[in-house]
Amino acid sequence: MPIGDVFPVGGPVPRNRMIGRDDAIDDIAARLREQLNVTIIGPRRIGKTSVGRAVCEELTPTHFVVRVEVPEGPDSQQLRHRIVNACNAGSVRDELRRAWNTLIPSIKSAAGSEGVQVDLETLRGIDPQTAPWRAILELPLAVAREKRKPLLLFLDELQRAVGYDDATEVLGDLVDLYGPQTPDAGLLIDGSDERAVDELLGQPHHVSKIAPSRALSPRIPIPAWRNVVPQRFTELGLSIEGAMVERLLAAFDGHPFGTAAACEGAALAARRAKADFIGELEVIEGIAYGHRRMEEDDA
């Protein structure tokens, strides 16, 4: 079995490989079932995206889930494409077309009130380049209503939108459309960059008005690791004594990324040595590997 499948490092972690996050996942899912929007906050590399994806999986049987990673860029153009693509991936063509058609009258009305001429055939094409941003943002909700399901919209790394040239429009319409007054819709957000998240949630964009913060702990309690790590090594055909487990876990005080990287490094060292156990040398190499990965990630 690949070591990276047992100790995932450097990307979203599957639900069945997560350690110590069940309570957070259950809490956030419960809030969203009650249509209470949530912003997951916390430092980088603690598993916010992994938790968000696990919540999406939890609610998929009952909700229309639209999951979008907000891209970096000068404006919202790529984000528009990603929202349309996510809606398209989660629906059949007729549902998407009917949903879009329900939005056309409001698009024409809004454009008319601003003295803008709108070509109906252009609108029918669902072109993210030309369609109004507000309509693109409302599309997931319209598709969910076609499906007769509540919506869960997960905007991963939304703080990136703070740097868009059209950030005021993008985030202003988000606050307007997905506030408490919108029935059958849940909004899940996460973000890492502290300064950008502060701007996102507070002045000038005030996203916290519709999606209050839910902090994710940067540390997973050592007992949670202790209960799982030996069995994970066993999956790789490796044994490990309790004292060696404690040394691995103490090195990063339960930090998800560092601890998983240290375990990965110890397993790699054992494979290189063709050993069937994790000894002191493997632990030392694993901890050093974990520190290198942390430093590389911070660079």
Q: Would you state the pLDDT for residue 121?
A: 45
Orientation of helix 133-147 relative to helix 77-89, angle to 10°: 10
Q: Could you give the CA distance from residue 14 to residue 50 in angstroms, rounded to a whole number? A: 7
Q: Is 100 within the bounds of a domain?
A: yes
Give the three-class secondary structure for 188.
strand
126 has pLDDT over 80:
no
177, 211: one domain: yes
Give the three-class secondary structure for 219.
coil
- Name the residue among 19, 23, 60, 53 with its Cα closest to residue 156: 53
Q: Would you state the pLDDT for residue 104?
A: 74
187, 247: one domain: no
- Which of 165, 199, 215 is the endpoint of a domain? 215
Q: In which element (H, E) is residue 185 found?
A: strand 185-191
103, 239: one domain: no
Q: Over the range 161-172, which residues count as b (16 or more CB within 10 Å of their CB) and which as e?
A: bbebebbebbbb
What would the mean pLDDT of 46-75 be, rounded to a whole number? Answer: 96
Our CA dihedral for 171, 177, 179, 184, rounded to 10 degrees, sits at -140
The band of 115, judged by pLDDT with boundaries at 50, 70 and 90, is very low
Q: Would you state the pLDDT for residue 53?
A: 97
Q: Is 144 within the bounds of a domain?
A: yes
250, 269: one domain: yes
The band of 114, judged by pLDDT with boundaries at 50, 70 and 90, is very low
Q: Is 163 within the bounds of a domain?
A: yes
Give the three-class secondary structure for 295.
helix
- Which of 194, 215, 236 is the endpoint of a domain? 215
Q: In which element (H, E) is residue 276 found?
A: none
- Which is more confidently placed, 128 or 23? 23
Q: Would you state the pLDDT for residue 117?
A: 45
Range of the domain at 238: 220-298
Q: Would you state the pLDDT for residue 159?
A: 93
Q: Would you state the pLDDT for residue 162?
A: 93
- Name the residue among 66, 76, 72, 85 with its Cα closest to residue 126: 85
127, 192: one domain: yes
- Name the residue among 290, 295, 227 with its Cα closest to residue 9: 290
- Which is more confidently placed, 115 or 94? 94
Domain holding 199: CATH number? 3.40.50.300
Number of domains into which the chain is organized: 2
Mean pLDDT of the chain: 89
Our CA dihedral for 58, 63, 66, 69, rounded to 10 degrees, sits at -30
Q: Rounded to the nearest 5°, which phi and psi values hold at 265?
A: -65, -40
Which two tokens mark 71? 């891209």
Which two tokens mark 5? 């499948």
Q: Could you give the CA distance from residue 284 to residue 295 in angstroms, rounded to a whole number? A: 17
Q: Would you state the pLDDT for residue 299?
A: 52
Lowest mean pLDDT of 84-88, 140-144, 158-162, name the range.
Answer: 84-88
120, 144: one domain: yes
Give the three-class secondary structure for 211.
coil
The band of 124, judged by pLDDT with boundaries at 50, 70 and 90, is low
Using the structure block, give the residue that is written with the tokens 């905007």.
155
Q: Rounded to the nearest 5°, which phi and psi values hold at 190?
A: -140, 160
